[in-house]
A and B are shown apart, each in its own frame.
Chain A
């Protein structure tokens, strides 16, 4: 029992230990921010490494908690994202008063996500979701002196509470019509019963809020803009990634009996999401708002992949999230460094950025190309696999519209590249000395963007885990 507990829940255990270590560090003698950040980063690295050993399949607490190598991999992806974010926000955190609290909040959020991913029961899932939401709202308020930051936290907590309400309502109806909340037992009780469909719609709305699918996306831009960049990147990568992982597994396993119904819903949602996300991204000048809308469009693409409902679809979605971690975090990282050094967050500030900061410019350019889905970056493969997965259902209208939307997204990503390299500017952003930590993070991201796509092992490995062979 105890060895089971330790091995199956190793990643959760590691996180809990980490949180406690940070707490004790805080209680101990005064320390400089730098030493905190360094210690925590080393611990996060250890935490990430833990995910690669002793992987087993198993269940605990009457199926409340289940795990398998695929889930471990999903959690490792999130761990990696957390590590990169922590390294990138080095310069911002260094000047902050409450470093340990920041880490404790984000790590608690991660813990909630892990339980959510591993949940084998809607109760566990809900518990994990809540644990991952409330600390995040506090973290969004972490630019303590800025009003916008508080506003963002307020908006986040309200919209989260609302979506949690929808989710709970849906879950209760599911329980009412089936008498169980255990994932493995649910499919046999589900049919195209109108009440169950209604319950599913409520659940879907709850999920859609979390991953900001149109029309549940209205909070996204404001929260992204107001929150500190570290939290924004966490929101856009880790928190979205986690919910997408859960969404895929719940859709494909629990709601398989009503697949036809949700296929149509997702079809409409994905198209609307891509188109609206793209159209709004076209007009943004604030870099964070821009990334918010572009990430909405990216989620639309993920939905296209999810409609495929096959092993290839699962693989492509997980693969895409992995790539999205690298590409989006590279972009956010540059914005974070520039913002913390100069306070500039507008796209128009980046005009002629190349002249003063060639390395950062290339990092940002490669990241944007990857987000746009241009070879040889990994983003191309990610989008390609998503489209292929979506094509599995034979719906070429969806695929064609999605593909044409890639042109629109290409346009606005290219607009930034153009600003960086070609637009004239008397006073470009001054030369920035990037500290070691963020620089390392950039290297990791760029290596990820360039290698994960070209080396097919990553995709094949995820595919093998998904099919269980």
Chain B
């Protein structure tokens, strides 16, 4: 019942939210619903761990071989927990941000959450696609109705991009469906498909482009900085914290195990693309003057590393991706919270116009420092363990000949990340105050406590990552077993 509740609570609460009256009611309602979702998600991890609670299946379009089948496996647990935790954080952090037509705004936010949960839980290709698209619709309205001046044009670009990807994926799914014995959409049947490598390659690209646009991987990333820049903060947090994980998740669950031979054949190509993107995005981030765009480009670099680690196909790398998906979500949301505080106080996001905040805002500076250090994966922070595992996995990969090259090139981006992050902190928080920053006051209570909570999470996971690694280890092994390419190599 847990997975059904995870989808139903935000869905129903979201619909109900459209009928709430004042902004305050809508806000409380959304917070209540998201806390409830979080509770269910935690219960699923602790008390209701029995498999019978974590899976649900009922007939749906039986004549086509599809069913409404949802299940919480290890990866699903992590991502649903991320989705469930992020929402209260986002809502509380933006508690004082006014939204026009607030009931619609929070309704759409909750509907997005329902769609995201569905993506992470679906065990049926048709259902997966359904939720994949469903999550987009509320986001369209969120992006286009609340945000910066150029939001409408930017949202259009974002949407056309993702829609092209989705439809290519749809063609791929239909093709795979016709190849299953007895025509079925169930994930187990998809895993059993054995296609020759050449056919797999075609389908691989149909699916990969959809996921690559979502993540985004170079060269499909051009929508992302614009979109992050123009959307309002709460939406940006959902997009960058959770929604990009749809792409990573899609590759791990629906690409690697379904098309192992093609993943092997094209793994190096994809990794090269991802690494080019990482270096390129990091270099741009160094030159960025806009805080929002800086965080956006740094996100491209981080996601790129996950992509390389996935295609290394080692247990260590995959575990690193699992934990890093969670960490990246938490860290980037914290970064956005800080950027929002700065923009709200000073009316600008330009790094060149800011300076000397550390004197005026000591609490914020300390908290940001920790988050920033987590962003560049310093030991003791959560990202350290994730990136370490991923690098270890890339280095130890037996599937590619270029493991050392990949590792070295990806390693460069760590240095670049340190450069742009520390440089940003130096220019924004240290130095002399100017007329814009002279009258700064420190952060509000709600923001302080939220950031402290996030920092606490960063340290807890940094010190005791085993909690998350235990959840995902079983799924990782299953996926690596399905993705095993030995049968194909023997055939050659």
- Please give the residue numbers on chain A whose beta carbons come within 8 Å of chain B beta carbons, in ascending order: 312, 315, 369, 374-376, 380, 384-385, 387-388, 391-392, 394, 396, 399-400, 403-404, 406-407, 410-411, 414, 418, 421-422, 456, 459-460, 463-464
**Given A374-B133, A380-B133: A399 in contact with B63 (beta carbons within 8 A):** no
Q: Which residues of B contact A384 (CB under 8 A)?
A: 126, 170
Does B453 touch A at the CB level, under 8 Å?
no
* Residue from B137, B145, B177 within 8 A of A369 (CB atoms): B137
Whether the pair A375, B63 counts as a contact (CB closer than 8 A) is: no
Considering the complex of A and B, which 9 residue pairs feature the smallest CB-CB distances, nearest first?
A: A403-B167, A456-B61, A375-B133, A463-B63, A391-B174, A375-B134, A456-B60, A460-B63, A375-B130
Interface secondary structure of B, over-half rule: helix
- Given known A374-B133, A375-B137, A404-B164, contact A421–B170 (CB-CB < 8 A): no
Q: Mark B157-177, 1 if CB is under 8 A from A, else 0.
A: 001100110011011001101
A466: min CB distance to chain B, Å? 10
Q: Hey, which chain B residues are within 8 Å of A404, CB to CB? A: 164, 167-168
Cα distance, A407 to B152, chains bound together (Å) = 17
Please tell me if the beta carbons of A388 and B64 are within 8 angstroms of each other in the complex: yes
Among residues of B, the one whose C-beta sits closest to the C-beta of A467 is: B63
- Say how far B148's CB is from chain A's closest CB, in angstroms: 13
Partner of A422, one of B59, B137, B145, B164: B145
Residues of the A chain whose Cβ atoms lie less than 8 Å from the Cβ of B56: none
Can you sample 30 A-B contacts with CB below 8 Å? A374-B133, A374-B136, A375-B131, A375-B134, A380-B133, A384-B126, A387-B170, A387-B171, A388-B64, A388-B177, A391-B171, A392-B178, A400-B168, A403-B167, A403-B170, A403-B171, A406-B167, A410-B163, A411-B156, A411-B160, A414-B159, A418-B144, A418-B156, A421-B141, A422-B145, A422-B152, A456-B62, A459-B63, A459-B64, A460-B62
Task: Given A411-B160, A459-B61, decide whether A394 and B178 contact each other with a Cβ distance below 8 A.
Answer: yes
Q: Given the known inter-chain contacts A380-B133, A388-B64, A407-B164, please indicate yes or no for A422 contacting B144, CB distance below 8 A.
A: yes
CA distance A404 to B160 in the complex (A): 11
**Chain B residues engaging chain A, CB cutoff 8 angstroms:** 59-64, 126, 130-131, 133-134, 136-137, 140-141, 144-145, 152, 156, 159-160, 163-164, 167-168, 170-171, 174-175, 177-178
A405's nearest neighbour on chain B, judged by CB, is: B167
Q: Chain B residues with Cβ under 8 A from A403's Cβ?
A: 167-168, 170-171
Question: What's the least CB distance linking A290 to chain B, in Å?
Answer: 18
CB distance from B112 to the nearest CB of A (A): 13
Chain A residues within 8 Å of B131, by CB: 375
A87–B164 alpha-carbon span in the complex (Å)? 38
Interchain CB contact (< 8 A) of B144 among A315, A374, A421: A421
Residues of A within 8 A of B59 (CB): 456
Contact A376 B134 (CB under 8 A): yes
Nearest chain-B residue to A388 (Cβ)? B174
Residues on A with beta carbons closer than 8 Å to the beta carbon of B171:
387, 391, 396, 399-400, 403
- Known contacts A369-B137, A396-B175: A421-B130 contact under CB 8 Å: no
Q: Chain B nearest CB: distance from A350 CB in Å?
A: 15
Q: In the complex, A422 Cα to B148 Cα: how many Å?
A: 13
Q: Within 8 Å CB of B168, what residues of A? A: 400, 403-404
In the bound complex, CA of A418 to CA of B140 (Å)? 10
Known: A388-B64, A410-B163, A414-B159. 15 other contacts (CB 8 A): A369-B137, A374-B136, A387-B171, A396-B171, A403-B170, A404-B167, A407-B167, A410-B160, A411-B160, A414-B156, A422-B152, A456-B61, A459-B61, A459-B63, A460-B63
Q: Least Cβ distance of A192 to chain B in Å?
A: 28
Give Cα A384 to B140, complex, Å: 21
Residues of chain A within 8 A of B170, CB atoms compared: 384, 387, 403
Q: Provide the bound-state CA to CA distance between A331 and B178, in Å.
A: 34
CA distance A399 to B168 in the complex (A): 10
When chains A and B are docked, how far (Å) is the Cα of A164 from the Cα of B175? 40
Which residues of B have CB within 8 Å of A422?
A: 144-145, 152
Contacts of B64 in A (CB 8 A): 312, 385, 388, 459
Q: Provided the pairs A374-B137, A392-B178 are in contact, do residues A407 and B62 lie with their beta carbons within 8 angstroms?
A: no
How far does the alpha carbon of A391 sit from the alpha carbon of B178 in the complex, in Å? 8
Complex CA gap A388/B175 in Å reads 9
Query: B137 — which chain A residues lie within 8 A by C-beta?
Result: 369, 374-375
Smallest Cβ distance from B401 to chain A, in angstroms?
A: 32
Task: List, in ascending order, chain B residues with CB within 8 A of A387's CB.
Answer: 170-171, 174
A365 CB to nearest B CB, Å: 9
Q: Tell me the minimal C-beta distance from A92 to chain B in angstroms.
A: 31
CB distance from A28 to the nearest CB of B (A): 47
Residues of chain A within 8 A (CB-CB) of B126 are 384
A460 contacts which of B61, B144, B167, B174 (Cβ < 8 Å)? B61
Nearest B residue (CB) for A316: B64
B-chain residues with CB within 8 Å of residue A459 when the two chains form the complex: 61, 63-64
CB closest chain-A residue, reference B167: A403
User: In the complex, which residue of chain B has the Cβ closest to the Cβ of A315?
Assistant: B63
Q: How far is the CA of A463 from the CA of B61 in the complex (A)?
A: 10
CA distance A280 to B460 in the complex (A): 58
Distance of B143 from chain A, by nearest CB (Å): 11
Q: How far is the CB of B108 from chain A (nearest CB, A)?
A: 12
Within the complex, the shortest CB–CB distance from A447 to chain B, in Å, comes to 15
CB-based nearest B residue for A410? B163
Residues of A within 8 A of B178 (CB): 391-392, 394
Residues of A within 8 A of B159 (CB): 410, 414
B178 and chain A: residue at smallest CB distance: A391
- List of A residues within 8 angstroms of B140 by Cβ: 414
For A388, the chain B residues whose CB sits under 8 A away are 64, 174, 177
A459 CA / B61 CA spacing, docked (Å):
7
Closest to A390 in B: B174
**C-alpha spacing A464/B61, complex, angstroms:** 12
CA gap between A296 and B145 in the complex, in Å: 31
Known contacts A376-B130, A392-B178, A460-B61; A418/B167 CB under 8 A: no
CA distance in complex: A15, B295 (Å): 67
What residues of B have a CB within 8 angstroms of the CB of A406 in the complex? 163, 167
Q: Closest B-chain residue to A408, C-beta based?
A: B160
**Could you say which of B140, B156, B163, B175 has the most chain A C-beta atoms within 10 Å of its C-beta?**
B163
Q: In the complex, A315 Cα to B164 Cα: how many Å?
A: 27
Cα–Cα distance between A391 and B152 once the two chains are bound (Å) = 35
Q: Which residues on B sit within 8 Å (CB–CB) of A399?
A: 171, 174
CB nearest to B133 among chain A residues:
A375
CB distance from B199 to the nearest CB of A (A): 11
Query: In the complex, what residues of A have CB within 8 A of residue B62's CB?
Result: 456, 460
Question: Are B156 and A380 neighbours in the complex by a CB distance under 8 Å?
Answer: no
Residues of B with C-beta under 8 A to A369: 137
Interface-centre pick from A380, A403, A406 (highest chain B CB count, 10 A): A403
Say how far B115's CB is from chain A's closest CB, in angstroms.
9
Residues of A within 8 A of B163 (CB): 406-407, 410
Q: Which residues of A contact B133 (CB under 8 A)?
A: 374-375, 380
